[in-house]
Amino acid sequence: MDSCNNINNIGNINSIGNGNNTSCNKISCTTTTNKRSDNDVNNNANNDINNDGTINWWNIQLDQNEADAVAETIHNRNISQGEKTALLEQKLAEMLNIPYVVCTISGTMALLMAYLALDVKPGDEIIIPDRTFIATAHAAVLLGAKIVLVETEKDLPLIDVSKIKSKITDKTKVIVPVHLNGRSAKMEEIKNIAKENGLFVVEDTAQALFSKNSSGFLGTQSDIGCFSLGVTKFITTGQGGFVVTKNKEIYDKLKLLRNHGVVNTLEDSYNQFGFNFKYNDILASIGLKQLNRIDDYINRLNKIYRIYEKAINGLDFLKIIPVDIENGEIPLWIEVLCNNREKLMRFLKLNNIETRQFLPDLHLSPHLQNNNYNDGDFSNSKFSQQGLYLPCGPNLSLDCIDKVISVLRKYK
């Protein structure tokens, strides 16, 4: 039964953003000895509330099921990257209906591996949306590439496809659509533009695992898709990410990149440039347990979205940023706009409700300002200025959602 009345001791995972568009410093993570079934999304809802009585902005739980899986993996001496990682890659490939999956240590490293696999070099230009977590840009900057920013759509924080062509030059190499919060960028149009200009497409799908559009799963509709398994994601292994592709040649390059160009670690033959991007079986054992809850997690996130959507429609100071759940998009987070965001956040904090504001648009980052952007180039800055996240997550109790809504209705 959902409950939000009692305060329980919980272990908070302290972390800085593990994916696009937000950061996190309190993630509910119970390690109780009471074992729940793999399909129970909220057996102990008291973990929604912090020690000081605050409802955390995000709630996903690891429990005895994951602890047992980790203990078994260690007992069997599956410590580094091995059979558990291979099994997780196999399961993800089956679930996403894509032939090749390569696990790595984070969503950021997934992006870096994707750019390396496509031979991105200094001076190459990478087109990305102005609204994304900065890892999308940093992975390219690390390789000496130039970031070319494109404004978002007016009503959705997704790349405005109509403005991509004007940004293409003879140095452009990759277009990176970012599927923020489970929303699908206009993939068919983007792929057509890329094809006409001989460009690669890399989908940043850190926030959109298992989200779909009419063509299938996001992240599987281009040259490479990049995913995150960080603490604020649909499923989590604490840290982690993975890369997917349908191209065997790219897949082979990704595997070599992950381990310093080595095919067989017993022979140590260096075949190409690479690095240590390896995952490990301890984290993979957590991911395998998390995958057992996918259907329940999707249902819970959609239900939370519908509850908020109905309530927010009656509040004139809030506007929910829509997610098309009827057509397969999954609302990872509850994103809203408020004209007086800071005032609302202070009010909610006084009522023991934690929120998070959106991170800035990328054109505001001084170290990325290499294109001499004009003030009028990015007129859709309302997301950066007004956006915030309300409490959510697959293990947040519905009673806590009701409490948040009740407090919102008291705001003046």
Domain regions of the chain by residue span: 69-290
How many angstroms separate the CA atoms of 255 and 295, rounded?
30
The stretch 147-157 carries a mean pLDDT of 94
The stretch 311-322 carries a mean pLDDT of 96
Q: Which pTM value belongs to this model?
A: 0.88
| CB within 8 Å of 275: residues ≥ 6 apart | 257, 258, 260
- Beta-bridge mates of residue 336: 320, 388
The stretch 215-220 carries a mean pLDDT of 98
How do beta strands 58-59 and 27-29 pair?
Answer: parallel
Q: 290: burial class by Cβ within 10 Å (0-12, 13-18, 19+)?
A: buried
Computed over every residue of the chain, the mean pLDDT equals 87
Most confident of 30-39, 59-68, 222-231, 262-271: 222-231
The proportion of the chain whose per-residue pLDDT surpasses 70, expressed as a percent, equals 85
Residue 140 φ/ψ, nearest 5 degrees? -80, -40
Residue 353 φ/ψ, nearest 5 degrees? -125, 120
The stretch 51-63 carries a mean pLDDT of 88
Instruction: Assign 14 a pLDDT band (cuts: 50, 70, 90).
Output: very low
Residue 125 has pLDDT above 70, yes or no: yes
| CB within 8 Å of 65: residues ≥ 6 apart | 35, 36, 38, 289
Q: Where are the beta strands (DSSP E) in 186-341?
A: 200-204, 212-213, 216-217, 224-228, 241-245, 319-320, 334-337
For residue 46, give the amino acid letter. N
Give the tens place of pLDDT for each residue, 249-293: 999 999 999 988 887 766 677 778 888 899 999 999 999 999 999
At 342 the pLDDT is: 97
Give the tens place of pLDDT for each residue, 339-393: 999 999 999 999 999 999 999 999 888 887 666 676 677 877 789 999 999 999 9
CATH of 69-290, one of 3.30.70.20, 3.40.50.1820, 3.40.640.10, 3.40.50.80: 3.40.640.10
For residue 15, give the amino acid letter. S
